[in-house]
Amino acid sequence: MKRIVALLGDYYHPRERSKASLNKALTLLSETENIDYAEIHTSQLEEELENKPDAVILFKEDRLNPTAEKVDTWMTEEIGKAIVKYVEQGGGFLAWHSGLASYDIHSSYTNMLKGHFEYHPDEHAKVQYRSVEGNEAFGPVSFELLDEHYFVNVQEEETNVFLTSESVDGHSIAGWFHDYGKGRVCCVTPAHNEEGLLDDDFLKLLAKTIEWVSKGR
């Protein structure tokens, strides 16, 4: 039995959308794995990490109130260090879409990810996602979504880039993975819209990334 926990949803990303997407991906994964899954609140994360789940999934940006004059965030350096310690000791971590966004780029958390979100154009566009030739760790990938095209900064020499994105706005990296201590880290940038989050090809990819990070122990 694999224990998987997730933190989902923020101001710009309604949790119902990512929850529906994750549930479908876990259904695919449950065809070959026995899954014990729970959605948790940020206040529960440190305690949950002490229980050493097989994987943690984060689809939630750091800002709690991004439109306010004084913006509050939830990930303290203590929480970030707890995540890093959990992964170093063999845990698996998936930073999914907004799980890459607005976090301190100099924090221990972002250093563990080996990459971070920089910006996305205001208008959504048709984004083509493709696997990198020679690195098909999660199978050959090619699908198109009307999406929030994330442009990211990735330390390519310290990780394995497996997915790229392309739209009228340009090219970017869209997925990367690496070992970290005894654990595993994977980052994926799609998807934002409900249609993209429920796209069959994307769901297959999401299930494979969850399967990979959960094998860290």
Using DSSP's 3-state secondary structure scheme, residue 66 falls into: coil
Tell me phi and psi for residue 53, to 5 degrees.
-65, 165
pLDDT of residue 161: 97
pLDDT of residue 135: 85
Of 129, 126, 130, 106, nearest in space to 116 by CA: 106
Within the chain, strands assigned E span: 2-8, 35-39, 55-59, 92-96, 115-119, 125-131, 142-147, 151-154, 160-167, 170-180, 183-188
Half-sphere exposure of residue 98: CA atoms within 13 angstroms, side-chain side: 24
In CATH, the architecture of 2-117+152-159+171-213 is: 3-Layer(aba) Sandwich (3.40)
User: How many other C-beta atoms lie within 10 A of the C-beta of residue 34?
Assistant: 8
pLDDT of residue 216: 62
In the chain, where the domains are located? 2-117+152-159+171-213
Q: Which residues, given as ranges, of the chain have pLDDT below 50? A: none
pLDDT of residue 137: 87
pLDDT of residue 217: 54
Q: What's the gap between Cα 134 and its chain centre?
A: 22
pLDDT tens digits, 160-215: 999 999 999 999 999 999 999 999 999 999 999 999 999 999 999 999 999 999 98
Tell me phi and psi for residue 208, to 5 degrees.
-70, -35
pLDDT of residue 33: 86
Which residues have a Cβ under 8 Å from the Cβ of 128 and sit 6 or more positions away? 142, 143, 144, 165, 166, 167
pLDDT of residue 32: 86
The C-alpha atoms of residue 177 and residue 209 are separated, in whole angstroms, by 9
98, 13 in Cβ contact below 8 A? yes
The C-alpha atoms of residue 114 and residue 168 are separated, in whole angstroms, by 26
